Structure 1
Amino acid sequence: MRDPGGAEGRRRHELMAGLRTVHSTVCQVCHNCCPIEVAVEAGRAVEITGNKNNRHYAGFSCGKGRRQLAYHYSPDRLLHSQKRLPSGEFVPISSAQVMDEIAERLQGLLAEHGPRAVALYFGTQAFQTAGSSMPVIKGFLNAIGTPMVFDSVTIDQPGKMVARALHGSWLAPAHTADEAEVLLLFGANPLVSMLGLPSGNPGTWLNRRLEEGARLIVVDPRRTETARRAELFLQVRPGHDVAILAAMLRVILAEDLGDRQFMASWVDGIDRLRSAVAPFTPEAVARNAGIDADDLVRAARMYGSARSGFVDAGTGPNMAQSGSTLEYLIAVLRSVCGHVRRAGEAVPDPLTLYPALPAIAQPMPPAPATGFGEQLRVRNLTSCPAGLPVSALADEILLEGEGQVRALFSVGGNPVVAWPDQVRTTAAMKALDLLVTVDPFLSNTAQFADYVIAPRMPLEVPHVTQILDFLQVLGIGPGAPYAQYGPAVLDVPEGSDLLSEWEFFYGLAQRLNLSIEVPHPFGMVDPVALDMSKPPTEEELLDIVCAGSRIPLDTVRQYRDGLEGEAAAEPRVVVAPADPACTAKLDAANPEMMADLEAIAGSLGSHGTSDDSFVLVGRRETHAANSSYNAKAARGIRRYNPVYLNPADAERLGVRDDDLVRIASARAAVVAVVSVDDSMRPGVVALSHAYGPAEADVDDPWGAGASTARLADVEDDYDRYSGQPRMSGIPVVLSPVRQPAPVGG
């Protein structure tokens, strides 16, 4: 069924349907972009279900998306922007007045301290609900001249982009999970995270692929929902994934399982790599990682013998060791096995709402992964391929002197519970001259803000699925050509005074007499200068951010239930042959990566924990999406995050379900509620991230939960490129807290 979308199409659909109307749109709770249908009665949304007319998703939507009306209609939602008084109390302020006051304060800070004094942080939700606003906001930041732009990528999986620079990248996509004979997942649980496998229903997709004969290997310290379906499950000690990859490469090279022709033509450094992985014998690595050596060899042979393979690492292993080294070895593994697309092959999931990327059967040579962009004032960090390191931003605020950050804008994020090292982060939030958050709630971070900008919610603005294209660039895209336009299905609440994220920054630019040029995310289309006397409409803005897309946005708008299948395939993208003059090669032996391997090889004999020590890892939950959709969306489910322990560990500590334990790292401590879970490896405990109170010295285990960010130290074992510190695999000591649970807890 086709529908022109927008307000006109919505009114027509309402007229046809009667009093209860059903609108097709796109869920923006997470990156899976599920097509949903929203039932509306008397202007109020009453139910959200998956869109069964969409074949790609087949009616799937997750619980977070279906429950978002509790979030949307929460009594805690801000319907007016807020200003904090000297007393700490927040009072409503009009959109016009809040932009006037912030522009005046910003102008003074710029005049006195220069543009570097102003920083902005994009959280996860900025890529989702504020996705079309991000280019406008970046245009504003360019206009004031600040280089201090940060986003959540450098505290998630920055190693994926760093590795692409260090290793070089094949200019045609790697094999997708849809066509791989063997799937190899390190610390990834896509059945819960909705990330790592093609978009849609991950459980149904995985069942189909396994029935077709695909083989699944999972490496994880917990027997996750995904691990339970694996043919081979390696339940490892956290932080040993790099060594496991090195051992797999050793076996593959020693047994000549790789693609010799591909390596000879396009890969440099194989002999140096062979020497570097030589110490990583399966026996030594297995002993260190707490797994069976035969299983490790079997995993190497399964993956190395496959004609096509898919390998991905999740957030946990990226945070438990150097994510750059981890992802580099994954890139090397793909190249050694030749698991890339060749000339003449069609790209199964080309970009749709961005211009098509070139697909050529040759490498892009390695490039610097550090030493460019803005030089930060701490830990000798600079920009990296994933952006400026977020882990340095709190220090940039706290460190006095020239270049000190004095104003921070936070969009779609919650730094107090998301950034590593909550102790530093809360101190930094209090030290700012100006803190502005764009948030529909008085979040942990918003409680410290001078101003909180109340934005429109996802169902009140139109969206497109560009985030799927962004993920495709990282090799974890939709799996098939796909796009959807989702119109706004609700008006803003009566009597509210709300701003879209881009409207707020556009209004600041007007007041500062600045012009905004909207940049293209990949620089593939020239920037677009906005008319500063007349703001664009939401639909005009979408046209700007989708300019030059492989399939025009107007075409996508015509498909009410999503553009998929043959309609989304044209124009097709086919891999072109290599330029005969191409001499570029992929680098399998980057000197710094080989030095990392040498250091890890030297510690192969050290492992184990004492009687009272554990290793803390993170954990995804089905009802939570980072710091934006946890407590608010979980009303009626559970608002806190328990710490999960193996039954043997619980018995050793003398605790059981709903008891309290103190979790202490070298940096700080938190108190959490116990949940006994036999899926956990003994000696490993799990605690979901993005919970906890705003203050770093307050415990609220039954309410806000416990903050994993408090336990991390930005100076502890940080990645030389991204600055990402150890945020998982943290050594901790657990001790019982003899305190009864609250009544009703």
Structure 2
Amino acid sequence: MIAHSYCRICPALCGITVTVDDATGRVTSVDGDPDHPLSRGFTCSKGRALAEDHNAPDRLDGSLRRAGERWEPVSSDAAVAEIGDRLSEIVDRHGPRSVGLYVGTRGYEVLQLAGATAWLSGVGSPSLYSTYTIDQPAKDVARALHGSWPAGFQEWASSDVVMFVGNNPVVSATASYIGMPVTNPRRAIRERRRAGLKVIVIDPRRTETAALADIHLQPVPGTDGAVLAGMVHVILAEGLYDSAFTERYTEGLERLRAAVAPFHPEAAAARGGVAVDQLIAAARLFATAGRGCAIGGTGINMAPHPILSEYLLLCLNSLCGRYMRAGDQVANPGVLGGGRSLREGVRGPRQPWGKGPQPRVRGLSNLYDQLPAAALADEILTPGDGQLRALIVSGGNPLVALPDMAKSIEALSSLELLVTLDVRMTQTARLSDFLIAAPMSLERSDVTLASDLRFPKAFAQYAPAVVAPPGDLVEEWEFFWALARRMGTQWDLRGRIGMPVPINVADTFDPRVKPTTEQLWEILCTGSRIPLATLREHPHGLAPELPPVVVRPDERLDDGQRLALADPLMIDELAAVAAERTAVGPAPGQPTGRRRAGTTPPADAQDLPYLLISRRLSRYHNSWGQTLGDYRARHGGNPLRIHPLDQAELGLSDGDLVRVVSARGSVVAPVEQEDALRRGVVSMAHCWGAADGAGDPLVDGANTSMLVDTEASFSHVVGMPRQSAIPVRLRPLGPPAPGTDGNTQPGPAARRPPVAVTEAGA
């Protein structure tokens, strides 16, 4: 049998064809769907690994309950009953806030997130955490301080220039909010470049996207704010900005001009370790090319000064008037959300934090409906009213995703109740009291609601379940519905919190009667421009011809709403950056000597001469795929990438082990040379490592969050710590000895020991 669906591992949502053995009902292969209107036959290695994922021997076919130091099987009904009773008892003793929810990347499937947050809302707890606040909140804080343009940025299809800063969409499948096709981003960039698009990339590594760029600035990690301030300086000094737009829609131009005065091109280039002529060329190209947009990614959001970097990107876009204007036609008017109605104009600066219950630690704040994930461990470990005592993890792996793994181990191990919903035994699950087995993506239906406005054109797809789940598995929304029933709390989709997109709920149901998955899809798609029944008739997805949506003119009188170019918090931070010590060291490709490559060093900076940056791996999506045996055997683990000249200077060969030491902790990793890095910069991916923080670096990989201190260096408001551009030193350990992992010290011990999985379990 051949079935059609789409891959849900990452945001690209590529169309796939799934081959199923009729006799066994097993998925035998997954390939790209050549008839898919967007991906046109493309799918990445992650999508093609779905068959291996579904058939992996470590996937769960039933739920597990901790029994001392072993697991025992438990029915999903019995698990819900016991978990519900224990949660009710914890709420009775300590109040609703003592119960929390953590939603991971896999938990952002629409029904999963809706069901989970509907349950938490019914409990009355504000303790919602997710991966969003690990690497994304700087974007929303910057936008709140700057103000926004509801019609959005100028779109990919009509752009003459685009600038990616710390963003590698060829691998990460991001940038969809400007309409960039992410089903095959490399092809999309090449096609648009042939049509004249200019691409600028700012990244300390020559990424897969940078290899396609017209200009690539390769700065010292963590100096993005200085480099961007230098570009603003050039645009203002040379009068390249859109004076008509800035006069009508912005305020603070002269204060911004004064704030960037210290960042003249020579100073900014020296701070960033880039060539001054390249910096000037990038600024001129961005300002004069025509239409376009500048966007940031994880690279700047996990590095120092993330909000400032995002804010300066918004200033660049506003100075150049890079927003959809009256008469512009929107490429994707929306299919499932009821359509769009857009006009010119500004939504002024606002404060989306500080409302409702707040974090109890470090003076941090919430952001919209979420508490900062960087404070999750502290909320568990800090005694007092509101202490978090029970946590449900839905589709996530916080032990390896959260910053400061040592603290996360201590915190998660100390909970009264930890429940994980997942498809296999993850590092977080090994510390849990219950592991609720969930079906995999091809075993449940889905609709592209969450991505409705992120496709490059009007598109929607309904994906039915392709194969039956192999055992007592429960969809996440079903678990949370049943949990609410057991606890006697409300479960109402209208009471959801934290949804990524607005959902029309024009219908409801009797909360005492369990709905079906298809009933929920019908409810959530109420008001769609294309009925769900029509989508079910198009197995490859549907790209309908819809009436065009054109941005309307700003017909209001001047109401005082302006985009803020000089928010006081950001101007103060820019002054602090100007006062930091200028980075020393060579431009990319030059010898390092014995020096520190970076700014704002800790006290022992001379002993930390390298900067460790994060990266995305095309073969994995966060922690997905790391347990697949054949996949890992073909593709390896999580090595430390290093420039060949730095590798030679340290006397290292590929495969040698090295201890990476920060001011917070250390990890061991094999080294692998990569000439795409600048000298003095090393790189590893995040979300790896064993449940005890030690493990074998050749098997489990090393977790870079062991090097992160959540209390030593963190950003405004939501407490994002420095998770990239981390000062480190490298201590060579030599080739790994056969049968050993190269570690010379144990990882932090878990209070709750990991449990062996028996044949009665997974």
3-state SS, counterpart of residue 208 of structure 1: helix
CA distance in 1 between partners of 2:285 and 2:411 (Å): 49
Query: Which deviates further from its counterpart, 46-55 or 117-126?
Result: 46-55
Determine if the alignment matches structure 1 residue 31 to structure 2 residue 11: yes
2:612–2:681 CA contact under 8 A, matched in 1 = yes
Aligned equivalents of 1:105, 1:686: Cα separation in 2: 43
The one-letter amino acid paired with 1:138 is T
Query: CA separation of 1:739/1:635 partners in 2, compared to 1, >3 Å: closer, same or farther?
Result: closer
1:657 matched to 2:633? The reply is no
What is the CA–CA distance in structure 2 between the aligned matches of 1:555 and 1:716, rounded to whole Å?
54
Equivalent in the alignment of 1:149: 128
Aligned to 2:359: 376
Specify the alignment match of 2:255 in structure 1: 272
Amino acid at match of 2:196: G
Mapped to 2, the partners of 1:442 and 1:422 lie a distance apart of 18
Partner AA of 1:33 in structure 2: L
Deviation, 1:744, is 12
Q: Is the 8 A contact 1:550 1:571 kept in 2?
A: no
Matching residue of 1:60: 42
Aligned residue identity for 2:614 = G
Please report how far the alpha carbon of residue 65 of structure 1 lies from its aligned counterpart in structure 2 after TM superposition: 0.7
Give 1:216-231 correspondences, 5 Å limit.
216-231=199-214
**Aligned residue type for 1:704:** D
How many angstroms does 1:327 deviate by? Answer: 1.2
CA shift digits 1:166-213 (9 cap, x unpaired): 111112121122221111111211111122242221111111111111
- 2:556 aligns to what SS in structure 1? coil
Of 83, 89, 93, the residue aligned with 2:74 is 93
Q: What is the TM-score with the length of structure 2 in the denominator?
A: 0.90
1:641 and 1:451 map into 2 onto residues whose CA distance is: 29
Offset of 1:157 from its aligned partner? 1.9
Counterpart CA distance in 1 for 2:643 and 2:634 is: 23
Distance in 1 (alpha carbons) for counterparts of 2:369 and 2:311: 14
Describe the superposition over 1:472-507 as per-residue Cα deviations: whole angstroms up to 9, x where unpaired: 5xxxx32222221111110111xx100000011111
1:614 aligns to 2:589 (yes or no): no
From 375, 388, 411, the counterpart of 2:371: 388
Shift of 1:444: 0.5
1:138 aligns with 2:117: yes
Q: Hey, what's the Cα distance between the residues in 1 that align with 2:430 and 2:291? A: 50
* Residue from 415, 438, 442 that aligns with 2:398: 415
Q: 1:724 & 1:25 partners in 2: Cα distance?
A: 36
What pairs with 1:221-300 in structure 2 (closer than 5 Å)?
A: 221-300=204-283
**Is the 2:374–2:402 contact (alpha carbons within 8 Å) kept by the matching residues of 1?**
yes
- Name the stretch that deviates more: 399-408 or 362-371: 362-371
Residue 118 (structure 1) aligns with: 99
Aligned match for 1:199, one of 157, 182, 192: 182
- Post-superposition Cα deviations, 1:1-26, rounded to whole Å, max 9, x if no partner, equal xxxxxxxxxxxxxxxxxxxx111111
Distance 2:517 2:467 in 1: 14
Give the superposition deviation at 1:370: 2.8
User: Following superposition of structure 1 onto structure 2, how do residues 540-619 of structure 1 map, counting pairs within 5 Å?
Assistant: 540-564=519-543, 567=544, 569-583=545-559, 584-603=561-580, 605-608=582-585, 609=596, 610=606, 613-619=609-615
Q: Is the 8 Å Cα contact of residues 324 and 721 (structure 1) preserved in structure 2? A: no
Secondary structure of 1:170's counterpart equals coil
Partner Cα distance (1:438, 1:501) in 2: 7
Residue 107 of structure 2: SS of its match in structure 1? helix
Q: Is the 8 A contact 2:259 2:571 kept in 1?
A: yes
Are residues 1:630 and 2:638 paired?
Answer: no
Question: In 2, distance between residues paired with 1:63 and 1:301?
Answer: 38
Deviation at 1:28, TM superposition (A): 0.8
For residue 96 of structure 2, what is the amino acid of its counterpart?
Answer: P
Deviation, 1:601, is 0.9
Report what 1:733 is aligned to: 729
Please list, as runs of the form range in 1=range in 2, the aligned pairs for 1:307-456 lying within 5 A after superposition.
307-385=290-368, 387-456=370-439
User: Partner of 2:632: helix, strand, or coil?
Assistant: coil
1:484 matches 2:461: yes
Shift of 1:405: 0.2
**Aligned residue type for 2:534:** T
Please list the CA deviations of residues 295-353 of structure 1 after superposition, one character each: whole Å capped at 9, or x if unmatched: 00000000011221121212112101222211111111111100111112211123332
Residue 535 of structure 1 and its aligned partner are, at CA, apart by 1.4
8 Å CA contact 1:643–1:675 kept in 2: the answer is yes
The answer (yes or no) to whether the contact 1:518–1:530 under 8 Å persists in 2 is: no
SS at match of 2:164: strand
Contact kept, 8 Å, 1:167 with 1:586, in 2: the verdict is yes
Change (3 A) 1:385 1:681: farther
Listed one character per residue, the Cα deviations across residues 424-481 of structure 1 (whole Å, up to 9, x for unaligned) are 1000011100000001111100000000000011000011122323xx5xxxx32222
Aligned length: 710
Aligned to 1:11: none
The answer for the alignment partner of 1:166 in structure 2 is 145
- What percentage of residue pairs aligned between the two structures are identical? 40
Equivalents in 2 of 1:143, 1:612: separation in Å? 49
Change (3 A) 1:517 1:528: farther
Whether contact under 8 Å (1:183, 1:215) holds in the other structure is yes
Spell out, residue by residue over 1:587-625, the C-alpha distance to the aligned partner (whole angstroms, 9 max, x if none). 111110111111101115244515862100111111100
For 2:150 and 2:261, the matched residues in 1 are separated by 30
Which TM-score applies when normalising by structure 1? 0.93
Listed one character per residue, the Cα deviations across residues 113-133 of structure 1 (whole Å, up to 9, x for unaligned) are 010000101011111xx3222
The answer on whether the counterparts of 2:412 and 2:418 sit within 8 Å (CA) in structure 1 is: yes
Q: CA deviation at 1:722?
A: 2.1
Report if the CA contact (8 A) 2:171-2:616 is conserved.
yes
Q: Which runs of 5+ in 1 are unaligned?
A: 1-20
RMSD: 1.8
Contact 2:227 2:271 in 1 (8 A): no
Any idea what SS the aligned residue of 1:635 has?
helix
Find the counterpart in structure 2 of residue 467 from structure 1.
450
The letter for the 2-side match of 1:507 is: A
Report how far residue 528 of structure 1 moved. Answer: 5.6
Contact 2:505 2:523 in 1 (8 A): no
Match of 1:47 among 29, 33, 41: 29
Letter in 1 for 2:447: V
Aligned partners of 2:148 and 2:533: how far apart in 1?
Answer: 33
> Does 1:104 find its partner at 2:85?
yes
Taking the aligned partners of 2:215 and 2:627, their CA distance within structure 1 comes to 35
Q: CA deviation at 1:524?
A: 6.2
Instruction: Determine the C-alpha separation between the residues in 2 that align with 1:726 and 1:268.
Output: 31
Q: Unpaired runs of 5+ in structure 2?
A: 586-595, 597-605, 742-762
